[in-house]
């Protein structure tokens, strides 16, 4: 994917929505893309069903008011971030279950911007803890996941690519191409043989074909049993602005189970991570 034209950013009632919106706006401006903010959270009545069961006459109006208060807070932050330079569209869809529903709404988007789950933030209520994993695995769309702390402008000059010969890594790499073309340095964690430029079916030839060979800085591939920790450590060492990696996991009946590296990175990330399943 050489062109990045449609970006969808997930919005909830938490203050971190503003940081995600700023990053999405920055990416849209740099790539000439259209950005859309989608407000999607689980209704309070479904978060607290026992309150409704025990006293519906009293509880339902209160929970509906809570939903409206959350929506207004999110819309106020959204409006505050708007400017004449680039307008972002606002869409609402809180039909449950929120993560599977959103997964079906994003299939035509080139890139998603999602937020790392923060269990300590009560204003992130309505967003399931497995929201990011569910959307990534269900939709198959690439997403930049934004940490729950820090400011990130979308100027990804130093990019770290985690590579192994897998479908997930390949899809993440191709999804990141518009960002890689604007990077100054691309750090690649891979086995040396995989970067040999003479292999016309290999990773090195792909970088050369896209005019990125001179920006490459190779690094040793991390051991499988410490991949998540090693990638985050390497990202810090090289001053990476973005980590690109596949998202590994599978669905069960009621939850999505991530692989070790994916789970570690999503739990402990300190920089934006572009992931796709």
pLDDT in tens, 143-173: 999 999 999 988 999 999 999 999 999 999 9
Of the chain, the end-to-end C-alpha distance in Å amounts to 16
Burial of 169 (0-12, 13-18, 19+ CB in 10 A): buried
Three-class secondary structure of residue 193 per DSSP? helix
CATH classification code of 158-276:
3.40.50.620
132 falls in which pLDDT band (50, 70, 90)?
very high
Locate 234 and state its tokens: 């390497």
Torsion sign, CA atoms 114, 2, 101, 58: positive
pLDDT of res. 250: 62
pLDDT of res. 2: 67
Share of the chain above pLDDT 70, in %: 91
| Stretch 185-195: mean pLDDT | 94
Please give the mean pLDDT across all residues of the chain: 89
Locate 241 and state its tokens: 């602005």
Q: Which residue has the tokens 């130093």?
A: 158
Q: Give the global pTM.
A: 0.92
Burial of 92 (0-12, 13-18, 19+ CB in 10 A): middle
State yes or no: pLDDT of 251 exceeds 60. no
Fold of domain 6-146: Rossmann fold (3.40.50)
Within the chain, which residue ranges are assigned CATH 3.40.50.620? Answer: 6-146, 158-276
As a whole number of angstroms, the distance between CA 198 and CA 210 comes to 15
Instruction: For 45-57, write each residue's pLDDT tens digit.
Output: 887 655 555 555 5
**Pick from 153, 162, 137: which is nearest to 274 by CA?**
162
Q: Which residue has the tokens 């923060």?
A: 118
State yes or no: pLDDT of 82 exceeds 90. no
Instruction: Check if the beta carbon of residue 272 is closer than 8 Å to that of residue 152.
Output: yes
Q: Which of 8-22, 30-44, 81-95 has the lowest mean pLDDT?
A: 81-95
Beta bridge partners of 39: 11, 92
State yes or no: pLDDT of 85 exceeds 80. no
């Amino acid at each position: 994917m050489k062109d990045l034209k449609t970006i969808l950013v997930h919005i909830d009632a938490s203050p971190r929505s503003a940081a995600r919106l700023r990053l999405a706006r920055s990416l849209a401006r740099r790539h000439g893309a259209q950005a859309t903010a989608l407000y999607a959270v689980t209704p309070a009545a479904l978060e607290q069903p026992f309150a409704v069961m025990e006293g519906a006459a009293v509880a339902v109006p209160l929970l509906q008011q809570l939903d409206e208060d959350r929506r207004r807070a999110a819309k106020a932050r959204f409006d505050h971030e708007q400017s004449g330079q680039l307008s972002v569209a606002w869409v609402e869809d809180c039909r449950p279950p929120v993560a599977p529903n959103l997964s079906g709404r994003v299939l035509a988007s080139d890139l998603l911007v999602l937020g790392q789950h923060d269990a300590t933030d009560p204003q992130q209520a309505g967003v399931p803890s497995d929201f990011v994993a569910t959307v990534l695995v269900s939709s198959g769309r690439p997403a930049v996941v934004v940490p729950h702390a820090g400011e990130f402008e979308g100027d990804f000059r130093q990019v770290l690519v985690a590579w192994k010969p897998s479908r997930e890594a390949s899809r993440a790499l191709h999804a990141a191409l518009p960002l890689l073309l604007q990077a100054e340095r691309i750090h690649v964690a891979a086995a040396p043989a995989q970067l040999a430029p003479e292999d016309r079916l290999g990773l090195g030839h792909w970088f050369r074909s896209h005019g990125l060979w001179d920006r490459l800085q190779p690094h040793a591939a991390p051991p499988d049993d410490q991949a998540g920790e090693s990638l985050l450590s390497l990202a810090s060492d090289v001053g990476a602005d973005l980590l690109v990696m596949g998202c590994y996991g599978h669905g069960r009946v009621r939850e999505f189970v991530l692989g070790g590296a994916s789970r570690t990175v999503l739990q402990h990330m300190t920089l934006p991570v572009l992931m796709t399943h």
